[in-house]
A and B are shown apart, each in its own frame.
Chain A
Amino acid sequence: MAGAVTNRRSASHGKLPRGTEESAFAKWTLILLALAFCLVFLLLPLVNVFAQAFAKGWDIYWRALTHPDSWAAIRLTLIVAAICVPLNVLFGLAAAWAIAKFEFRGKALLITLIDLPFSVSPVVAGLMFIVLFGAQGFFGPWLTEHNLQIVFAVPGIVLATVFVTFPFVARELIPVMQATGSEQEQAALTLGANGWQTFWHVTLPSVKWGLIYGVILCNARAMGEYGAVRVVSANIVGETQTMPLRVESLNDQFQAPAAFAVASLLALLALGTLVLKTIMEWKQARDFAQAQSLQLSAVSGQPGRQD
């Protein structure tokens, strides 16, 4: 079927333009504009980061990364992401499920609440946690009494990051779940599956790509968050300094190569998730293609019915 569509499309791309097609000028202007924009604002800075990072050679790069303070920042960033992303997945699945599959009062309010972190400046978000958990804050006295520290410590960073990354997974999942509907799950129930089996074998795989996108976005933001973390962390070198904070402080201390080295690693971590996703997509496409070709050879072997 896909083949037929492609053929039809390529056939209409001959000399005769389709009625709905824009002029070649408009088409190429838009394409060039988009390309130029990507080149100047995305690719060039990214290349520059790596160029600067390696400007003084591999040795300096390696030393900048293995510096104990940088190493601490890398570890902290990974820990924060490792806590935030699973929390977000759990929350996102629950929220998307509730919104897509149930009708209840206050649904619109819930959707708005999920979006709230997008509309609040990260700095404000950080300050909120200071107001709540700081020494002078709402829970401050109680926390001091029990010898618990949240702000200016790792729990505060995690809280702030969870807050900022809150909407990512839910936002990606809600439209996918709404589009999928609940018929597949009902089918699983009629075939004897219980709730957990249905979720594991049917629901989760059907929202897989939405979930993966959500996780990638969430992870990138969790690793790269600056504003909110800056406010709640107090930026203590070797203790509460995450990678973005480390990049900034190195830059302030005129250690450009080291700053770019950490920055390049941060960029690499984000790019890595994108590469992983691309590999998964490629693998699925290959599986589909394989199923199709297997099928074709089977049909040529025996007269199966094609409706």
Chain B
Amino acid sequence: MSIELKGVTKKFGDTTAVNRVSFTVNEGELMALLGPSGGGKTTVLRMIAGLEVPTEGDIFIRGQRVNDVSVQKRNIGFVFQNYALFKNMNVFKNIAFGLKIKGWKRRDIEARVAELLEIMDLAGFEKRFPHQLSGGQRQRVAIARALAPKPTVLLLDEPFGAVDAKIRQELREQLVTLHSELNVTTIFVTHDQEEAMEVSNRIVIFSRGNLEQIGTPREVYEQPANEFVARFIGVMNVLDTEVRGGVARVNELQFPAAGQPDGTKLRIGFRPYAVQISPDLGLFPYRAVLRHTFFLGIMLRLELELPSGLILRSRMTKEEYAQLGLEDGREVSLRVRNYRVLASEDAPLPPEMESNAHRRPTIAEHI
């Protein structure tokens, strides 16, 4: 176990930025701290680094309590969001800085810097100054500088925030490769769920200072602990329904809810991919009009309007779209393949329901 937080709280004046957060990061893990801005994730990262002091709770690095250990002595590597390269030093001196401070011999420094330049694909750039580098190069220098003194853990604050979309993708892949090569425990902060899912082994999700869930990308996607996580990890259709006669209803939509007394309010959620569409109006129980198609690369997002005005979101690949012969304004039939009843934010979510397992809702008028 590389890093452990136990009941860590951080208050800035009256506001609680981080509220009794506990989790552990295993040796060699690549961990994402995910959440909307203001969620407290950067504060957690800075507390691990020692740039902020916890108001309550303990932080351990490799079993040693580090609350009172200064940032200089924690042996962490920190990559700042805007890289914070030393503007007056060239690439070589930037990377060598930590080694010089630690009193390494000149020959060792040169060897280590050369090694990092090679790993980070920066060979030939050592004489350049930060303002003469591109955004991606600057970040690679920042990572090399943080890695140079061989830190126990590498901490990155929004590492892909300051570059454009194309380089983002490249940097993500680079971080994964780097991590698998060096196997250094790595924690990074991001507000982008897709980024967290793609890059990390495990994700810690924060909202308003609270730890909402911790798990592998698959776990948080398939078994979200609460509605916040369910909504935050991927788009979700969320509907407030009321039970009448064992069926949860909202407008024309119906979901089986046997055993629930009449009048019970149920919040139901389903992923866009669970909304199945057909141009054959008789195939699925509900009718809708395809209002808009959003092109997101190979995936498309569809906005469907039911006769009552209810809007549902669906997702499909370009090929499926073409196969079905869909276009904006077209009338289609649809069904919700599976869904889950969303619990209140504290209680865990019940397992996902298969619409198929139940009797098809009896809505004869739509067929």
- The count of chain B contact residues (Cβ–Cβ below 8 Å) is 40
Cβ of A203 to closest chain B Cβ, rounded Å: 10
Whether B121 and A206, one on each chain, are in contact in the complex, defined by CB atoms closer than 8 angstroms, is no
Cβ of A81 to closest chain B Cβ, rounded Å: 27
A256-307, CB < 8 A from B: 288, 290-292, 294-295, 298-299, 301-302, 304-307
Interface status of B146 (Cβ within 8 A of chain A):
yes
**CA of A47 to CA of B88, assembled, Å:** 38
Whether A190 and B146, one on each chain, are in contact in the complex, defined by CB atoms closer than 8 angstroms, is yes
Instruction: Given A187-B84, A191-B145, decide whether A295 and B72 contact each other with a Cβ distance below 8 A.
Output: no
Binary contact readout B87-129 vs A (1 if CB under 8 angstroms, 0 otherwise):
1111000000110011000000000000000000111110111
Cβ of B170 to closest chain A Cβ, rounded Å: 8
Main secondary structure of the interface of A (DSSP, over half): helix
Instruction: Given A183-B82, A184-B84, A187-B80, decide whether A192 and B124 contact each other with a Cβ distance below 8 A.
Output: no
Whether B132 and A307, one on each chain, are in contact in the complex, defined by CB atoms closer than 8 angstroms, is no
Which of B51, B124, B129, B149 is close to A186, meaning CB atoms less than 8 Å apart?
B51
B138-165, CB < 8 A from A: 145-146, 149
Which of A192, A202, A206 is close to B72, meaning CB atoms less than 8 Å apart?
A192
**CA of A24 to CA of B89, assembled, Å:** 42
A155-202, CB < 8 A from B: 183-184, 186-194, 197, 201-202
Whether B124 and A298, one on each chain, are in contact in the complex, defined by CB atoms closer than 8 angstroms, is yes
**A to B contact number (C-beta, < 8 Å):** 101
Which of B89, B129, B167 is close to A307, meaning CB atoms less than 8 Å apart?
B167
Interface status of B71 (Cβ within 8 A of chain A):
yes
Main secondary structure of the interface of B (DSSP, over half): loop
Binary contact readout A48-89 vs B (1 if CB under 8 angstroms, 0 otherwise):
000000000000000000000000000000000000000000
Residue in A194, A295, A304, A306 with the greatest tally of chain B CB atoms within 10 Å: A295
Whether B149 and A192, one on each chain, are in contact in the complex, defined by CB atoms closer than 8 angstroms, is yes
Instruction: Given A190-B51, A307-B135, decide whether A295 and B124 contact each other with a Cβ distance below 8 A.
Output: yes
Cβ of A129 to closest chain B Cβ, rounded Å: 40
Cβ of A186 to closest chain B Cβ, rounded Å: 6
Interface status of A13 (Cβ within 8 A of chain B):
no
Whether B137 and A307, one on each chain, are in contact in the complex, defined by CB atoms closer than 8 angstroms, is yes
Residue in A1, A189, A290, A307 with the greatest tally of chain B CB atoms within 10 Å: A307
A302: chain B residues at CB < 8 Å are: 123-124
Instruction: Given A194-B72, A208-B88, A302-B124, decide whether A187 and B78 contact each other with a Cβ distance below 8 A.
Output: yes
**CA of A194 to CA of B136, assembled, Å:** 29
Interface status of A141 (Cβ within 8 A of chain B):
no
Whether A304 and B123, one on each chain, are in contact in the complex, defined by CB atoms closer than 8 angstroms, is yes
A288: chain B residues at CB < 8 Å are: 129, 132
B122: chain A residues at CB < 8 Å are: 304
**CA of A129 to CA of B155, assembled, Å:** 56
Interface status of A17 (Cβ within 8 A of chain B):
no
Interface status of B76 (Cβ within 8 A of chain A):
yes
**CA of A304 to CA of B84, assembled, Å:** 23
Interface status of A205 (Cβ within 8 A of chain B):
yes
Task: Name the residue on A nearest B88 (C-beta).
Answer: A205
Whether A193 and B72, one on each chain, are in contact in the complex, defined by CB atoms closer than 8 angstroms, is yes
**CA of A206 to CA of B88, assembled, Å:** 6
B72: chain A residues at CB < 8 Å are: 189-190, 192-194
Whether A187 and B82, one on each chain, are in contact in the complex, defined by CB atoms closer than 8 angstroms, is no
Which of A186, A193, A295 is close to B125, meaning CB atoms less than 8 Å apart?
A295
Q: List the 5 shortest-distance A-B pairs measured between CB atoms, nearest first.
A: A298-B124, A307-B136, A191-B98, A183-B84, A205-B88
By a beta-carbon cutoff of 8 Å, the part of chain A in contact with chain B is 1, 183-184, 186-194, 197, 201-202, 205-206, 208, 288, 290-292, 294-295, 298-299, 301-302, 304-307
By a beta-carbon cutoff of 8 Å, the part of chain B in contact with chain A is 49-51, 71-73, 76-78, 80, 82, 84-90, 97-98, 101-102, 121-125, 127-129, 132, 134-137, 145-146, 149, 167, 170
